[in-house]
Amino acid sequence: MNPVSPLQQAFDLQYLASRQHLEVPAMLRKERLLRVQRMLDEHGPVLTAAVQADFGIRSPQLTEFADLLVLRSQLKQALRRLERWMRPRHVWTPLHLLPARARIERQPLGVVGIIAPWNYPLQLSLGPAITALAAGNRVMLKPSELAPHTAAQLAAAVEQYFAPDEFCVVQGDSYLSSQFAGLHFDHLMFTGSTAVGRRVAQAAAVHLTPTTLELGGKSPCILASDCDMAQAALRVAHGKLLNAGQTCIAPDYVLLPRGQEAAFEQAYRQAVAQLFPRIVGNPDYASIIHQRHLVRLRNLLQQAQSLGAQVQVIDPAQGQQAAAPGWGDAAQRQMLPTLVWNVQPTMTLMQEEIFGPILPVVPYDRLDDAIAAINAGPRPLALYWFGKDEKARDTVLRRTVSGGVTVNDTLLHVAHDNLPFGGVGDSGWGAYHGEQGFLRFSHQKAVCLQGRWSAVQWLYPPYGARFDKIMALLRRWV
């Protein structure tokens, strides 16, 4: 007999516990959420330092803002609204089923698996876990192997606050991730690339495990001719360069009214200089996570140039700033922001999600052309619109499909706790955050309660004249 692997043992422990304790009261759920809150309060600095160690250069303030603040907001909302989310929903009963009553009960699914990415390794690990715990589930978390320091600290912190049959963290490489995806979870959530998401979905399908896939794609940013160019450029630059572009909802490319190329270039350069007076040696500007990813980004630029693209590198300090001593190769991975012009659809740059500080700019003549360009590709995770014309804005909203939208800014919809966050098509399926996430990780059980007397009995066989008369009446009322 083959020995049971530690991964399988960890899953079996949670699976058995979930089946033995089907009812998870609100008090226990809140207590678990409060443990997560205490974990963040007590281990926040250590976790932040681990994220910085994984990137080489990443501002602790960025982690506090983009990871920990988001998690604290999610915890606050879940603790405040949990009992309301758990409450059974009574629904209207149709005439022919009277006097029955009906309701929908929200139950835990059981064991939820989470495969998290490296780019926001705290938010995208613990955020889904918070939602799954609020829904009464057990949680197994697999952090990214590209953020090993964060994974190790998460594992130690979770082990301190949770029993392994409640919440555990497993560490390992991509091979372990594939084994993890093949476990018989009650629900599996994956955040990462579309290519890996396909493999995760295939592994989960063996057990008919339902999945939530939070993927990526090429999120467009449309600038209208009436937008405030300076303001738009600053907000686009912030969304693009946050975490050095390593954000799944970062603006991937800009659709710009033809004739405004020079104005946008100047405004974008000024915006970059305002946000990051220097790039190399700036502790506020994150490094690319790994040399392999940096090589990929450089190859994208080289291939685009070979096909006729114009590449404009933006260095506000003009090479006059050096990295601090001891930063090693992390400073070499601080990739300069780059604009790319004269791009073509055949370029890899315009076919793959960029996930770095490279911003292609695509001129358009009419709004219809911009919409057609978006609809010609896979449906994106996010879409951004900058302009003052509400009619044009609503046209874009009606005629495009994306996971989410922010108007006259970037990224904000993902930070709104009352909005569902998720993709559509190639950018993923299933949404979480807030009550939508609670429902995603819950089973909505239909319950119909019939009384001693039932109108349905009139429709029992044998069928005859009485049946026909009743059906004639029902056809008029239903």
Backbone φ, ψ for residue 427 (5° rounding): -90, 5
3-class secondary structure, 313: strand
Q: Which two tokens stand for residue 49?
A: 């330092």
Interstrand relation of 431-432 and 358-364 (parallel, antiparallel or unpaired): unpaired
Handedness of CA 253, 257, 260, 264 (dihedral sign): negative
Backbone angles phi, psi at 149, to 5 degrees: -65, -45
Catalytic residue among 166, 214, 353, 435: 214
In Å, what is the CA distance from 402 to each residue of 13, 282, 398, 423, 425? Answer: 39, 34, 11, 7, 9
Find the helix or strand (DSSP H, E) in which 221 lies: strand 220-223
Cis peptide before 462 (omega within 30 of 0): yes
| Cβ proximity of 342 and 309 under 8 Å | yes
Question: Which residues are within 8 A (CB) of 445 and not within 5 positions of it... i.e. 6 or more apart?
Answer: 104, 105, 106, 107
| Structural Rg of the chain based on CA atoms | 26
**How many other CB atoms are there within 10 angstroms of residue 89's CB atom?**
10
- Say if residues 397 and 405 touch (Cβ distance below 8 Å): yes
The single residue of 168, 221, 227, 248 carrying the catalytic annotation is 248
Q: How many CB atoms lie within 10 A of CB 409?
A: 16
Return phi, psi of residue 91, to 5°.
-125, 155
Spatial distance between the Cα atoms of 409 and 412, rounded to a whole number of angstroms: 7
Tell me whether residue 214 is one of the annotated catalytic residues: yes
Helix (H, G, I), strand (E, B) or coil at 142: strand
d(CA 28, CA 74): 18
Closest CA to 404 of 389, 419, 387: 419
Structural contact between residues 89 and 439, judged by C-beta atoms closer than 8 angstroms: no
Structure tokens at 225: 């001719």
80 burial type by CB count under 10 A (0-12 exposed, 13-18 middle, 19+ buried):
exposed
Q: Tell me, yes or no, if 353 is annotated catalytic.
A: no
Q: What are the Cα distances from residue 119, in Å, to 100, 143, 154?
A: 51, 11, 15
* 89-91 sheet: strands from edge to edge: 89-91, 101-108, 442-449
- Give the residue from 6, 39, 7, 21 showing the smallest Cα distance to 137: 21
196: helix, strand or coil: helix
Residues catalogued as catalytic = 214, 248
